[in-house]
Amino acid sequence: MDNFTEGTPWKDTLYTTPKTTQTLKTLKTSIPSPAFSFVHEIEMVARRINKSLVSNNPITLADFLPQNLNDFYRYNGSLTTPNCNEGVMWTIFKKPQNIPASQYKKLVDILDEKGDRLRSNYRDPQAVNRRTVWESCGNDNIYY
């Protein structure tokens, strides 16, 4: 199961793993998103592969998350890249973070190690395979 709405892959989404970050969710606004303020440095980063680079714009995972972390869907699934190993807990927030088209364009123009753009880097919908998809209750008072 990949992140799809009614069988259609989300145009763009951001998902992270310990070793990779891949782009993928929605561009509807023209107001620059502070979470994606780093995109103006992408060309510089691409030229510095295997070299040190100090950024004046540190980013954290929290920069990409919605303010309300309590409205989400969750399921146990697999990686979307080969070997598609099981053991990934996917969390899909109900409210997407928007990114302006200008910032999105810089992200999709990034080239991977083969020189291909990071576009359509999703796999086809997968069978649910008896997985359970949980929906959060949206309670702001969640205790762990």
The length of the chain is 144
DSSP lists the bridge partners of residue 92 as 73
The tokens of 20 are what? 């990779």
How do beta strands 8-9 and 4-5 pair?
antiparallel
Q: Which helix H or strand E contains 10, and what residues bound it?
A: none
Query: Do residues 25 and 10 lie in contact, with contact meaning Cβ atoms separated by under 8 Å?
Result: yes
Q: What is the pTM of this model?
A: 0.58
H or E stretch at 8: strand 8-9
pLDDT confidence bin for 89, thresholds 50/70/90: very high
With a CB cutoff of 8 Å and minimum separation 6, the contacts of 22 are 14, 15, 80, 81, 118, 121
Provide φ and ψ at 24, rounded to 5°: -170, 0
Residue 132 is predicted with a pLDDT of: 92
Instruction: Using pLDDT thresholds of 50, 70 and 90, give the confidence band for residue 135.
Output: very high
User: So where are the chain's domains?
Assistant: 4-68+97-126
Average pLDDT, stretch 10-22?
45
For residue 50, say if its preceding peptide bond is cis, omega within 30 degrees of 0. Answer: no
Cβ atoms within 10 Å of 49's Cβ, excluding its own: 8
CA–CA distance, 65 with 35 (Å, rounded to integer): 9
| Choice between 77 and 98, residue whose per-residue pLDDT is larger | 77
Q: Are 40 and 106 in contact (CB under 8 A)?
A: yes
